């Protein structure tokens, strides 16, 4: 067990089921900005599988290394033929800066997946302890939140 998991357990200890589920939901929501982000590039490079599905950080680093090397070679080639003005380097629908951001995002998605899956597992397990009254209270709270949002 990692330190993060120990900390999460300690935070939830001693609360009721509804509060525990709410805390888990908050933690899941905090991961949403990662999982809901979109890529700027196509995440498709010649010689690499679809990087949107890649789970190996090493492969992602290699892909970024390829893009970075291609940009350097592109700029050097333009210089060799005496060009001082030429189109900016682009690969797979984006610049090297775009690729850096996309590779960082993909790594964040990979790293957050384990946490997300574990939180979902805890939520499922914790939900089994909900009494009928707890379920009713949660439904009432959900309905009140919905109705309050309609009034705005």
Residue 76 lies in a domain: yes
Cβ neighbors of 25 (< 8 A, separation 6 or more) are 123
pLDDT value at position 72?
98
How many independent structural domains does the chain possess? 1
Residue 143 lies in a domain: no
Residue among 133, 64, 120 at smallest CA distance from 92: 64
Residue 66 lies in a domain: yes
pLDDT value at position 7?
42
How far is 3 from 50, CA to CA, in rounded Å? 33
Q: Which range of residues forms the domain containing residue 125?
A: 19-138
**Prediction pTM value:** 0.70
Please write the tens of the pLDDT for every residue from 47-99: 999 999 999 999 999 999 999 999 999 999 999 999 999 999 999 999 999 99
Residue 3 lies in a domain: no
Residue 14 lies in a domain: no
What average pLDDT does range 130-138 have in this prediction? 87
C-alpha of 91 from chain center: 23
How far is 86 from 24, CA to CA, in rounded Å? 52
Tell the residue number behind the tokens 């390829």, with chain if given: 66
Choose between 35 and 14: higher pLDDT.
35
């Amino acid at each position: 067990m990692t330190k993060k998991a120990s900390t999460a357990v300690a935070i939830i200890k001693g609360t009721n089921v509804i509060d525990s589920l709410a805390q888990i939901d908050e933690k899941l929501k905090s991961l949403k900005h990662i999982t809901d982000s979109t890529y700027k590039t196509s995440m498709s490079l010649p010689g690499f599988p679809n990087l949107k599905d890649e789970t190996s950080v090493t492969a992602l680093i290699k892909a970024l290394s390829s893009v970075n090397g291609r940009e350097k070679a592109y700029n050097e080639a333009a210089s060799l033929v005496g060009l001082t003005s030429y189109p900016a380097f682009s690969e797979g629908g984006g610049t090297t800066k775009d690729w850096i951001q996309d590779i960082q995002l993909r790594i964040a998605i990979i790293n957050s997946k384990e946490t997300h899956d574990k939180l979902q597992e805890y939520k499922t397990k914790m939900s089994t302890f909900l009494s009928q009254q707890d379920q009713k209270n949660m439904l009432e709270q959900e309905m009140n939140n919905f109705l309050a949002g309609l009034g705005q």
